[in-house]
Structures are given as structure tokens and as C-alpha cells.
A and B are shown apart, each in its own frame.
Chain A
Amino acid sequence: MSKTVEIKPTTRHEGHTNLVLTIDDEGIVESGAYHSVTPVRGFEKFLYGKVAEFAPIAVSRFCGICPTAHSTSSVEALERACGMEPAKDGLILRELTAIGNKMHSHPLHQFLIAPDYVPKDEYADVVKRIQEMRKIGQYFVDTIGGEAIHPPNIKIGGMAKNITPEAKEKLIARAKNYLELAAVQCDYMMNLFNERKLNDGTEIPETLGYHDYPLLATSLTYGDISKFDYSQAAEYSPFEHYPKEVALQACTNIPKYKGSLVEVGPRARMVTFKDFKETKGALGIHKARALEMAHYAERALELLDELNTNGAPYCTDPIVGDGETVGVGALEAARGHNVHAAVVGKDGRIVEYSAIVATTWNIPIIGEATVGHHYKFAEHVVRAYDPCVSCATHMIAKDYDGNTVDEKLFK
């Protein structure tokens, strides 16, 4: 006889996600649905009629975690809607800011999973290294983006400011430092993941989180719109995907690409661009994320080498569209393929705006990926995806929590 387990995250806010699982007598998950229950988004509608320049500022407030990612996808979409050619050095600076954001985000995720994996006596050293890495990531965002949280320099046409040659030298030194820290941190985490054990000794099933859906990534470190056909992306109502009782609560649409659900994020990027062998599962995502950190620092060094600090950071083309052209911006954010699409009118105002943020792609996959293993592992599948449902639905925070399995409800 099947039972239902509902893992409800604890949260200070109204908004959060639920994981609804049906399990058999042994506790093995037979079906899983992971869904956001934050208030329905419709977030982009308020942008209609606003001047285009307001969009990157506003979308940066979608969420407290991904301001840089959303501003970046937004300006990319708006530039294409307006047929603008952004300044070359501006694009370099923009990619560096986005990389800084990921250099901060990935280690932070390792801090969040540390209580699951890192032995207690090693915890302090690991956290110290993670903090060092986060500070370097934030040094990039602050120095190039212009401010720590909502980088004001990210603008349509490029970046508002170039950096000084001195700042460039400092960034190079810090990227090299990051590379050293990332090598140590990556080795350390890879050893833990290869052991396939939680720090309480529980063995993690080898196939935990396996699924057969395709992966979607357009670039290892930034975003390449030529590898994404927006006309092949479609969003479906939750009622077309979840059982009715779950759909009634679910608050994100279900996006598909070329007719299929897709996984986005570190594993998708590493498999697509780095021939990453460990192709599946929760631990595969963790490993891919650990490996990516060094790639970010390497790419940052390449970009800094290319950067002309005397180059114009932005182009001065007028920010006007034709009222029809759909401009699409796709950034590989920390959590994956983050798509914004915009139409700008001849008056420079927004006619249409839409976003499919990274975690939205992964939400329907996460529930299904819990199937086949004991429900006690389900939260580890969720956590591997580092879901950020706050921006997938709304800025009201969603969270998940290591201790909530104790609050499971049997119906």
C-alpha cells in the first residue's frame, strides 16, 4: 500500500516549496513531485510600458541571490530586441561580473551542503576556505559591477564603466589565488563525493538522482544564444504535468525544450563542454559544480588578458526596438540556463517581457529524480540542484532545510 510523504520546508516566509512523494512499504519513492508554492508569478507583467533601462534594475530584484544573473540576461535580451551591438570591452567586463557571481555562489553551495558531507573536525578549515573564495568572487562583482549586490554598471549596450589598469592587476592576482583555492577545495570535495557517504556514515546509493532527461547548456562560463532556439521552448501549466492535487498548489510553469523536460546547471555544462564522464545523478551535479570553480578562474584570467582598460565600455546606439523583434538573452547562471526575452517598442518602452529562470527548468526534474530510492535521500537530490525558487516564482524566499524530514506528514 502506497503512502504519501510530504516534505515541507520550514521557512520564515509564506513562500516555499514542497516535495510530495509516494512511497512503498519499504520507504522507496514510487513517484515524486517537487513544486513551488510561493505566490504565483506574473512578475514580468509590471515591466510592460516601462522604459527598457528599468528592466535590468527591476529584474535584479527578482531575488536576493541572483541579481547579477538576472541583470545580465536582461541586458542581453534588450540589446538583441533593439538590434544593438554592445561594446567589446563591455561584454568582457560583463562576463567577468557574471563569473564573479558564480565564483561566490558555488563555494556558498558547498557551505550549505557541508553539514551533510564534511566531517566535523574538518569543518572549520573548509568553511574558512569557502569564505576566502566567496570574498574573491565578491571582489569581482563589486569592483567590476560597481556594487556588491545589484551591480549598477550592468547596462544595455555594455557596462557603465571600464576598470583601471591597477584594478585589472588586482583582479588577475585574485583570480590566480582563486585558482589555487579552487584546486584544494575541489580535490577535497571530490574525495568526499567519491566516497559516496554522508558524514554520519550513511552510504549514498550510486544511482541517486538518476533520470533520463536531456541536458541543456549553451556555454561553460557565460551564454551563447546561437546554441538556444527560443522558439523551441514552451511553458506548460502545472496541471499538464503534476497530479491534480499537487498542481493546485504549484506556482511555477513547467518549461520544456524541444518537447522535453531538461536539466540545466553545472552537470549540463560540464557534460556538454568538458566531456564530463560522470553523467548522472545527485553526486554528478555536486562533482560538476566542484570542477567548474577552477574553470571560472581560468576564464576570468583569459578575459582579463583580453580586456583593454581604455576601451569604450558601452555603445551609444539608441535603445529603441521595432515593437516586434523578440530579443533573447541566455546566461549560464550558477544554477543554469537563465533566459530572458523582451520586445522593445519604437518609443524605447517594453512591449513584452518574459523570463524562464534557471531553477524553473530543474523543478519538475527534481521530483522525478527522487524515484527509486528511500525517501530519506530525497532532500539530498533537491539540494544537489541548489534550487533557487525565490526567483523561479517570486522574491519571497523559498528554502529547504536539512532537518525537515522529521516533520514529514503521513497521510
Chain B
Amino acid sequence: MPEYLEKEILILGCGNILLADDGFGSAVVQRLNELKESTPKLMSEKIGIIDAGTGSSHFILSLIDEESAVKKVIIADIIDYGLRPGELTKLYPDDLPKIPKYHIDAHDMPLAGMLNDISGAYGIEIVVIGCQYKYLSAPDICVELSDEVTAAIDKAVEMVLEELEK
């Protein structure tokens, strides 16, 4: 199996850098990678940090099964919960949208349903560090985060580090 399925904790930055604030997850991962040298716990063999971009369900979550070592998945992503732009909140599987039935399709693997599934089936702890977005550019391209979301990156990184302690 790929090495990332042998990690106990996976940190996934989700979202598309081409759609303005949707690049939040990638930005958090980038910061974590920069902090690796000064933050020993990020260097642990047990932790995988992945810029999951546009493919977390496809290439990671749908491959998790009873053979994987993964015990916890920490996701950094934007949310739309009507909060102040840049406001961060932690979400757990119970908080995620309940999709009663979803179709597994390579082109559309809904994150929430799949997180619920792997949490239920394999007892994997899931936490989403969600950041309220200000601006999403789709279908236009904008390779830039809003100031509010940029300002949230450091705090989000702290929240990820806290989760590693638990």
C-alpha cells in the first residue's frame, strides 16, 4: 500500500488553489511543511501531511480500509457556515452534512459522506479545521486568498498542532 496509508495521522489540506479562498487547505499544508524543521512533532514518521488539493476522496479516503494504519484524519478546508470570513471552527463527523445515499462515482466522491463512512466503518477519528470563506471565484480562476482567510492560516496551523497532541 502507498506509504501514506501506513501513517497513523493524516493531515489533508483540501481545496483548489485556482478558486480563491478554496486554496486555504493547500496554504495550511504549505505552512506546516515550512514549519517541519522547527517543529519536531511534524517530523514524526507517524504523520503524513498531504496537499490533497482536488482529489482527497479519490486518491486517499476511498483507499482507507481495515489494512490501513490510519487512526486519525485532520482536514483543513473552507466551510460555509455563515460565520465571519476567516473564522475557524472544528467540525466532527456528526456536524457534517448527512447525505442519506450517495453514489460512488470517480468524478464526484462527496467528502462528507465518505468521512462519515470511514469514521463509522474503521473507527477513524475525523476532525475538520474549517475556515469560513469570503470569496470563491468558480467558475473563474483566482489564485489568491482573501486577506481574512490568509490571516486565519497561522491559527489553523495551531489548531492542527493541538490535534496532534490529543
A residues near B (Cβ < 8 Å) are 10-13, 38-40, 43, 46, 57-58, 60-61, 63-65, 67, 104, 108-109, 111-112, 131, 134-135, 138-139, 141-143, 147-150, 152, 386, 388-390, 394-403
Contact B104 A112 (CB under 8 A): yes
Alpha-carbon distance between A233 and B114 when the two chains are bound, in angstroms: 41
Instruction: Select which of B4, B60, B139 is within 8 A of A39 by beta carbon.
Output: B139
Chain A proximity of B139: nearest CB distance (Å) = 4
Per-residue 0/1 for B49-66: is the Cβ within 8 Å of any A Cβ (1 yes, 0 no)?
011111111111001010
Contact B107 A65 (CB under 8 A): yes
Instruction: Select which of A150, A396, A399, A402 is within 8 A of B51 by beta carbon.
Output: A150
Contact B108 A399 (CB under 8 A): yes
B contact residues around A397 at 8 Å (CB): 107-108
B contact patch SS: loop
Q: Which residue of B lies closest to A15 (CB)?
A: B139
**Interface residue B121 (Cβ < 8 Å from any Cβ of A):** no
28 contacting pairs across A/B (C-beta < 8 A): A10-B103, A13-B108, A38-B139, A43-B141, A61-B18, A65-B107, A104-B59, A109-B106, A135-B1, A135-B2, A138-B1, A139-B2, A141-B2, A142-B2, A147-B50, A147-B51, A148-B55, A149-B50, A149-B58, A149-B60, A150-B51, A150-B53, A150-B54, A150-B55, A386-B106, A388-B106, A395-B54, A401-B105
Chain B proximity of A199: nearest CB distance (Å) = 17
Q: Which 8 A/B pairs are nearest by Cβ-Cβ distance?
A: A39-B139, A64-B54, A46-B141, A399-B108, A149-B55, A64-B55, A142-B2, A138-B2
Chain A proximity of B3: nearest CB distance (Å) = 6
Number of interface residues of B (CB under 8 A): 33
Instruction: Select which of B1, B53, B57, B104 is within 8 A of A61 by beta carbon.
Output: B53
A contact residues around B139 at 8 Å (CB): 38-40, 394, 396
Chain B proximity of A226: nearest CB distance (Å) = 32
* Given A58-B18, A58-B143: A399 touches B105 (CB 8 Å cut-off): yes
Q: Which residue of A lies closest to B140 (CB)?
A: A46
Contact B105 A400 (CB under 8 A): yes
Q: Which residue of A lies closest to B15 (CB)?
A: A61
B contact residues around A39 at 8 Å (CB): 138-139
B contact residues around A390 at 8 Å (CB): 107
